Amino acid sequence: MTTTYDEPFGPEYLRPAQAPCPHCPCCSALLCEKGRNSVMQCHGHVADPETVAIVSACPCSAETTRGTHAWRVAQIRVVKHATEQPLPKAAEQVLRALAGAESFEDPTGELRGLRARQYADGHEDMWRITRLGRRYLLALEEPRYSSAVHVNSVDVKTRTAKVVVLGWHMGREVTVLADFLAQATGLDLTNLPGRYLDAKVNLGAADPDDLVLTRIQMPAPVTEDHVAARPLWAAKGGAQ
């Protein structure tokens, strides 16, 4: 016969306290690690509304903080906007005026749209251009070229990939979001390493984090027509 005992006043089990983040006053180190490596940022990894309010402005995962997932997504979004579906000229003129601290008129209310896109911030006579707004203007002007991209490795935990953009540098690795590569090619993350891809890239960037890959795709297969169309020197193995 087995006897059981009720312990209504048993020990209270408490969750161990997590180490605070050394870079912000609002989060634990573990939460900020998750937030940095997620487009949901820190506030997307907590459920309690009160906690969400506390960590919603955490700089460790913000899209204004260089190197975070949210920042990388914002760079891609802005560059694609500038190169594929740019602002109307009236909105661009207002944004350029803000960038140059010039006086301007806004009869068509473009500032509201610029603020919604986070290209401008402020109100009434206190408007200013944001970093994303300046990135948009830069994307309008910087040349973009087609380049082969080799995927060296993928970190599934952080969902990032180390790639080499051959048109930029033959040896330096560039960190990109692995999910963007996977979505563009239809490949699983585990099948990306070792692959060559094609992309449009701002090859004039000095910092690898400033390289923004768009129009990512699998390279076209080499056919007999491509081989037949090669120059004579290429068929012989190189330039003479």
Shared domain check, 210 and 149: yes
The answer to whether residue 57 is domain-embedded is yes
Question: In the prediction, which pLDDT does 7 show?
Answer: 46
- Say whether pLDDT at 84 is over 70: yes
Provide the pLDDT confidence category of residue 229 given band limits of 50, 70 and 90. Answer: very low
Residue 204, phi then psi, degrees to nearest 5: -85, 0
- Say whether pLDDT at 10 is over 60: no
Question: In the prediction, which pLDDT does 99 show?
Answer: 97
Shared domain check, 132 and 150: no
The answer to whether residue 87 is domain-embedded is yes
Q: How many angstroms separate the CA atoms of 74 and 39, rounded? A: 10
**Average pLDDT for 56-71:** 91
Shared domain check, 181 and 202: yes
**Average pLDDT for 176-185:** 96
The answer to whether residue 151 is domain-embedded is yes
Question: For the chain, how far is it from start to end, CA to CA, in angstroms?
Answer: 95
Shared domain check, 167 and 203: yes
- Say whether pLDDT at 236 is over 50: no
- Say whether pLDDT at 51 is over 80: yes
Shared domain check, 91 and 33: no
Question: In the prediction, which pLDDT does 238 show?
Answer: 38
- Say whether pLDDT at 158 is over 50: yes
Q: Out of 27-36, 94-103, 224-233, which region has the weakest mean confidence (pLDDT)?
A: 224-233
Residue 208 one-letter amino acid? P
Q: Which of 92, 121, 141 is the last residue of a domain?
A: 141
Shared domain check, 182 and 136: no
- Say whether pLDDT at 146 is over 70: yes
Shared domain check, 198 and 163: yes
- Say whether pLDDT at 234 is over 60: no
Considering the chain, what is the average pLDDT of its residues?
87
- Say whether pLDDT at 5 is over 50: no
The answer to whether residue 212 is domain-embedded is yes
Helix axes 131-141, 89-99, angle to 10 degrees: 120
Shared domain check, 178 and 134: no
CATH code of 190's domain: 2.40.50
Shared domain check, 86 and 134: yes
Shared domain check, 193 and 173: yes
Residue 102 one-letter amino acid? E
Residue 95: which domain range?
72-141
Q: For the chain, how many structural domains are there in total?
A: 3
Provide the pLDDT confidence category of residue 49 given band limits of 50, 70 and 90. Answer: confident
Identify the residue with better confidence: 221 or 162. Answer: 162
**Average pLDDT for 215-237:** 60
**Average pLDDT for 75-104:** 96
Question: In the prediction, which pLDDT does 18 show?
Answer: 78
**Average pLDDT for 50-74:** 91
Question: In the prediction, which pLDDT does 17 show?
Answer: 66
The runs of H, that is alpha helices, within the chain are: 29-36, 49-55, 69-84, 89-99, 110-116, 131-141, 178-185, 224-228, 232-235
Question: In the prediction, which pLDDT does 123 show?
Answer: 79
Q: Strand pairing partners for 214?
A: 200
Q: Out of 8-22, 124-138, 158-172, 184-198, which region has the weakest mean confidence (pLDDT)?
A: 8-22
Question: Which two tokens mark 8?
Answer: 């209504």
The answer to whether residue 42 is domain-embedded is yes
